[in-house]
């Protein structure tokens, strides 16, 4: 789960904005548990596409 989708029960704002102390604490805890929590799903997909492109280029160069 990414931080950008969570809503704080204390201030009803997005946890990613860190409006209150509870948001900031939960955001820090999630980033320690999973360093990829701060990366949006779109960025993960872009990284995957880039990785596939590199693998394809290496494969074509080897042939």
**pTM confidence score:** 0.48
- The dihedral region occupied by 34, where left means phi > 0, alpha psi between -120 and 50, and beta the remainder, is beta
Q: Give the C-alpha separation, 26 to 56, whole Å.
A: 39
Structure tokens at 60: 């074509």
CB 2 within 8 A of CB 42: no
Condensed to tens digits (0 to 9), the pLDDT of residues 5-53 reads 788 888 988 888 888 999 888 888 877 877 666 677 888 899 999 999 9
N-to-C CA span, the chain: 40
Q: Give the alpha-carbon dihedral of 36, 43, 13, 17, to 10 degrees.
A: 80
């Amino acid at each position: 789960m990414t931080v950008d989708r969570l809503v704080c029960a204390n201030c009803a704002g997005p946890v990613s904005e860190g409006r209150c102390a509870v948001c900031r604490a939960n955001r820090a805890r999630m980033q320690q548990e999973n360093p990829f929590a701060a990366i949006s799903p779109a960025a993960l997909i872009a990284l995957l596409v880039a990785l596939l492109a590199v693998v394809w280029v290496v494969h074509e160069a080897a042939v």
